Amino acid sequence: MQIKNHKDFNTGLLFIFFGMSTTALVRSYPIGTAAKMGPGYFPFILGLMLTLLGLVILLKSLSKVGKVRRKGSTHLRPAIFVLSSIVLFGLLLLPLGLLFSTLLLVFISSMASDEFKIKVAILNAFVLLIIVLVIFIYLLQFQIPVFPAFLGSRA
């Protein structure tokens, strides 16, 4: 036995994981009867179906012989920087205000690119900050704190 298609193999695993965890979680909700379905009925069926599908995909990705499809190359830099810049924005928006969290988001997410240049990123951050302040705070009047909370000022 050999994994013929890694992507399908992992998809199968993922679906089985989601399916099994659904059916496990659903146990705590009343299932009800077919005529009077409880909150657990529909997700339970879906969870079973997903697990089953996952199994089929998994089995189909295996083969005794046959050519092995190359694994896709993983290049983690973009994913790491993009995702962490969003999480950081969420963490800092309320305590530090829009001002600093914008600068940080733009700067950190810029590092996701292979063509990252410090000067361009900093310039971009300040230009975007001005645009954001004009559009969202001045024109659209969104209720977002602009300055850090410790300075005691609000939007």
Partner 1 sequence: MELLSNLALGFQIVISPQNLLYCFLGTVIGTLIGVLPGIGPVQTIAILLPTTFALPPVSALIMLAGIYYGAQYGGSTTSILVNVPGEASSVVTCLDGYQMALRGRAGAALTISALGSFVAGCFATLLLALLALPLSELAFKFGPAEYFSLMVFGLIGSIVFASGSPIKAIGMIILGLLLGVVGTDVTSGTQRFSFGIPELADGIGFVPLAMGLFGISEIIKSLERKEKREILKTKIFGFWLKKKDVKEVAPAVARGTLTGSFLGILPGGGGILSSFVSYMLEKKVSRNPETFGKGNICGVASPESANNAGAQTSFIPLLTLGIPTNVVMAMMAGAMMIHGIQPGPRVISSNPELFWGVIVSMWVGNLMLVILNLPLIGIWVKLLTVPYRVLYPAILLFCCIGIYSVNNNIFDIWLTAILGFLGYLFVKLECEPAPLILGFVLGPMMEENLRRGMLLSRGDPSVFFTRPLSLAFLLMALAMLIVIALPAIRRKREDAFHEEGEKG
> Contact residues for partner 1 (CB under 8 A)?
7-8, 10-11, 14-15, 18, 22, 25, 29-30, 33-39, 41-43, 46-47, 49-50, 53-54, 56-57, 60, 72, 74-75, 77-79, 82-83, 85-87, 89-90, 93-94, 98, 102, 105-106, 109-110, 112-117, 120-121, 124-125, 128, 131-132, 136, 140, 142-144
Q: DSSP string covering 38-99, please?
A: -TTHHHHHHHHHHHHHHHHHHHHTEESSSPPPPPPP---HHHHHHHHHHHHHHHHHHHHHHH
Nearest approach in angstroms of CB 148 to partner 1 is: 16
Nearest approach in angstroms of CB 141 to partner 1 is: 9
Who contacts 11 (Cβ-Cβ below 8 Å, separation ≥6)? 54, 57, 61
Q: DSSP string covering 129-150, please?
A: HHHHIIIIIIIS------S-GG
Nearest approach in angstroms of CB 44 to partner 1 is: 10
Nearest approach in angstroms of CB 43 to partner 1 is: 5
Question: Residue 2 is inside which H or E element, if any?
Answer: strand 2-3
Our CB check for partner 1 shows the closer of 117 and 154 to be 117
Phi, psi of 62 (to 5 degrees): -95, 150
Our CB check for partner 1 shows the closer of 2 and 32 to be 32
